[in-house]
Amino acid sequence: MHFKPCMIQNMATKLFTFNMQISIFTILFLLLSTKSFATSNSITDNFIQCLNRRSNPSFPINGTLYTPGNSSFPTVLQTYIRNLRFNESTIRKPILIITATHVSHIQAAVVCGKANRLLMKTRSGGHDYEGLSYATNTNEPFFVVDMFNIRSINVNIDQETAWVQAGATLGEVYYRIAEKSNTHGFPAGVCPTVGVGGHFSGGGYGNLMRKYGLSVDNIVDAQLVDVNGKLLNRKTMGEDLFWAITGGGGISFGVVLAYKIKLVRVPQVVTVFNIERTSEQNLTNIAHKWTQVADKLDDDIFLRMRFSAMNNTNGEKTIRAVFPTLYLGNSTNLVTILDRDFPELGLQKSDCIEMSWIESVLFYTDFPIGTPTTTLLSRTPQRLNPFKIKSDYVKKPISKQGFEFIFEKMKELENQMLAFNPYGGRMGEISEFAKPFPHRAGNIAKIQYETNWDELGVEAETRFLNFTRIMYDYMTPFVSMNPREAFLNYRDLDIGFNTHGKNAYVEGMVYGHKYFKETNYKRLTRVKTRVDPDNFFRNEQSIPTLSS
């Protein structure tokens, strides 16, 4: 091909112009990036200066601050990330982590965070299923107040109470109670590394709930740092705000520093078992009967049912169910009750193990029998991997045919686990308006959908998230509707996301009605509007103000 001189000249001119445009674009990009970096540094510097000015000189805040430029920053951030989905390099990182050791650090963080228009995240144990205590889906610069150093536990057996700070773990709470008494316990979750702050403020669900209700049903006082940096207790915050932070999620209203809990009585000897049944052992009939009786059993019995798919000895897919159970009494009485009310399970006395309540906590968490109770003081989870959790509520017994359909779908999908947690007992006696948590009478069980995987990366995450969502959609005929209810502590961004724009209240209704139902959601928004009118305390599923 031949080119005329003028064509060559025109091409050269265009090429020069194009290169100039590239260069100008590159320079502008570098300038903007430098400006953005400088702006980010400026924001962080201003924030840190404010923190130093506002903190109590007797408790210097400097040693608790970690910026991305600090070599310890990745370790501090990652130590309490419990869902490895949110430990990827693509996840936005905070501009600062404050590992608070004193209430003045939290007060300074709130006042200075608000003054610098920063988004604040509060982390107690890091078990937030969607990582909202240390990550964000927005482009806002944010910082994390990490509460793991604020974790004192003061047990008063004479008064049957304990003051528990937000950074303590459930395992630490159980251990400290058992140190003082072998006939006291507390109704909360089965995972010992969960932090108190998020668990209690969202409801607090565990295997004593049929006897004593939720954690929030047994909280008598609290300490909260409000949006103005003031430290409040139940009397000074008022009953509406106290109501809101005992089931409505504390992060929407302030920073919970501590809860005062009312201990409950447990016998010196309890009974546990964890028997297994498969599809080949009449599991469909057993599961169907469970939905008919589990919420009506003696209040001292918490009999869970958990399904997963596996290969049998012939290499064929089957469904395996385990029935982890706690009974507040001896094995003889337990076998008598289940022989009468749930003979399909086929419980034998040889299946039962008698132990102390604190030992049952370890048993229920799948630790081997004989594991020392000091294990509950460990803050290291038994397993770390990416996962997704969803929830549902069952209000009517599921038929045998229904379970057959469910089991077939589980066999088609990978890594699906369904846990049915029984209701009834004390849960059916407490009004749905007593606390923001409304899921009380009329529920047979709560379902927890759990999908775990080991592969990292977007491709694996997309595949397994899709499996979870397919299973959830497939369960629609068997669960609550209008609204399809969900559990706040099983945070799930699939069911709604708040941009906190002009329609924040309406956006909040989507997940708000699922977590709290309409009446409680409206009351929560009224409290929010009064105590935090500018919506400083917020995340992707926080309570919005009425004006937004």
First to last CA, the chain: 66
Strands 445-452, 416-422: pairing is antiparallel
Show contacts of 502-508: CB within 8 Å, 24+ apart: 502/548, 504/535, 504/544, 504/545, 504/548, 505/544, 505/545, 505/546, 505/548, 507/544, 508/541, 508/542, 508/543, 508/544
Catalytic residues: 490
Residues 6+ apart with CB under 8 A from 116: 43, 46, 47, 50
**Whether 247 contacts 461, CB under 8 Å:** no
Give the tokens for residue 311: 């290969």
Q: What share of the chain is helix, strand, coil (3-state, %, to 5)?
A: 40, 20, 40
List of E strands, 279-376: 301-303, 305-311, 317-327, 353-355
d(CA 153, CA 145): 20
d(CA 207, CA 181): 19
Q: What are phi and psi of 369, to 5 degrees?
A: -60, 135
d(CA 389, CA 34): 40
Give the tokens for residue 10: 């025109």
Amino acid identity, residue 156?
N
**Whether 121 contacts 134, CB under 8 Å:** yes
